[in-house]
Every structure is written in C-alpha cells, then in structure tokens.
Amino acid sequence: MQVFADHRIPVTFFVCNETLSGEENHSTVQEIFAFAREHGLCLEIASHGIRHRDLSKEEPEATIEMIEQSVRAFEGKGPRIQGFRAPFLSIENRYRHILGSKEWKDCCLRYDSSICFESNLLTSLFHVLARRKCPHKIGSVWELPISSLDDYHMMSKMGRSERFVFLYWAAEMNVWIRLINYFMLTFHPHTIGRNLLLLDRILRYCRKRFPKDSFRTCIQLVEELDTLS
C-alpha cells in the first residue's frame, strides 16, 4: 500500500470476509481504509468471496448466493462493495452464466474481474493477437478481464526473474494500451510483498509512461464505461 501511495496510483483490493483461519476480516479492512486516508491513497475494497476457496465445482446459484452474502456482510460493517473477483479465478468457465443470471436479488454488483484465461506466455501472445480480452457487459454487470499473467504465476509457479517479469508486464501493458486503451494488472500480497523492488519499478514505469489521469480503481473504470456505453 505504501508503494502505491508513493506513486499516487489508485488500487482495488479484493478482500475475503474471513481470513484463512476463519476470523472476520473487518478490523483489517478498517486498517486498510485508515492507511489510505492517512496517505492520500485512492483505494477501493471489493469482494473476494466469504473465504478464499475454489468455486469451480459450485453450482452457479450457490456462487451467486455466496457473492450476495459477501457483499451484504461487508456493507453491514461499513464499506460499499460493488465488485467481485473469484478466488483462484475459479468461475472463468461459467462467468457468463453467473453474471447473466436473473437470480441476483439484494446484491448491487456492478462488475466482476474473475477472468484471465492464461496459463503461459503462449496464451498471452494468443490473447494479444485475438484482441478479445477487453471490458464487456453481461446483463447489468461489467466484466473487467485481467490482462496478463500475474506475479504468482510468473514468479512462484514459473520461477521467472524480476527482470523478466518487469519486461513482460511492460511489453503487455504497452501492447494492450495501444490496442484497446485498457490494461488490468493483478498482484498477490504474499508474492509481490517479497518483491517490492519489482512493484516499485513497474509502478514507476507506469507513472512515467502514462498520464496521471490514466489510472483508475475498478469502480472508477466502471463508472467511466457506463458514461460511454
């Protein structure tokens, strides 16, 4: 959070209602907001589910109910939640059915960001060539795709060096911005927290490469998309 604040780049945190040990996350969310206010950081909290678990085998109706419960639980403690990202991106294969469902009741979900459809550098190249991975609306909900492989996949799973990851992100960023004027980059605290020099380097590059008003939280982007659609 301090690195994002130093570079004045807005950030969206996808947070579970409960920790891995089953404890309520409300106090941590309040600490996050307090830090953001103190350091002038533009920050949004979105849902990452009630707890961090794989949803790939859940029925769509159960997933919808879980998202609604997560949003209501957060809002009962203060923050207004308007977005969701599935743990492990585990609704990728069913996201259109889930977002297009008419079963939504009490949840005012405005966007989802649970798809990436990438597993290696070859798929990254395919998606750049296909140009299909862009924001799109399903029913009343915007889908905001993740544009490239994240820190966990690049460093923890593939064992790539910081230099390689920086060059990959910078290249992907420049291509996607040029093609569709959109780029979504995702970090995991347990991975990027061990590589803060990389985070500082990529954010510094972003600030030098693009105008200040290029950066958005997810909900800010959704509000802009709504005015354009």
129-187 residue pLDDT tens: 888 899 999 999 999 999 999 999 999 999 999 999 999 999 999 999 999 999 999 99
Secondary element (H or E) of residue 173: helix 162-180
Domain count, the chain: 1
DSSP assignment of 62-82: HHHHHHHHHHHHHHHHS----
- Is 21's pLDDT higher than 90? no
Query: In whole angstroms, what separates CA 158 from the centre of its chain?
Result: 21
Which is more confidently placed, 88 or 78? 88
pLDDT the model gives residue 226: 95
Mean pLDDT of 8-17: 97
Provide the CATH number for the domain around residue 69. 3.20.20.370
Which structure tokens are listed for 55?
């949803």
pLDDT the model gives residue 42: 97
- Is 102's pLDDT higher than 80? no
Query: Distances from the Cα of 63 to the Cαs of 20, 92, 104, 113, 216, in angstroms?
Result: 19, 12, 11, 15, 27
How high does pLDDT run on average in the chain?
Answer: 94
- Is 106's pLDDT higher than 70? no
At position 200, the amino acid (one-letter code) is: D
- Is 105's pLDDT higher than 80? no
For the entire predicted model, the pTM comes to 0.95
> 118 and 154 in contact (C-beta within 8 Å)?
no
- Is 110's pLDDT higher than 90? yes
pLDDT the model gives residue 189: 93
Question: Which domain, by its residues, includes 179?
Answer: 2-228
pLDDT the model gives residue 107: 72
Q: Under 8 Å CB-to-CB from 8, ≥6 apart: which residues?
A: 40, 42, 207, 212
Q: Give the rounded percent of residues in the chain with a pLDDT score beyond 70.
A: 99
- Cα–Cα distance measured from residue 227 to residue 229, given in angstroms and rounded to the nearest whole number: 6
Q: Under 8 Å CB-to-CB from 136, ≥6 apart: which residues?
A: 142, 143
- Cα–Cα distance measured from residue 177 to residue 103, given in angstroms and rounded to the nearest whole number: 35
> 23 and 55 in contact (C-beta within 8 Å)?
no
Overall size of the chain counted in residues: 229
Q: Looking at residue 44, what DSSP letter applies?
A: E
pLDDT the model gives residue 22: 87
pLDDT digits (tens, 9 = 90+) for 28-68: 999 999 999 999 999 999 999 999 999 999 999 999 999 99
- Is 104's pLDDT higher than 70? yes
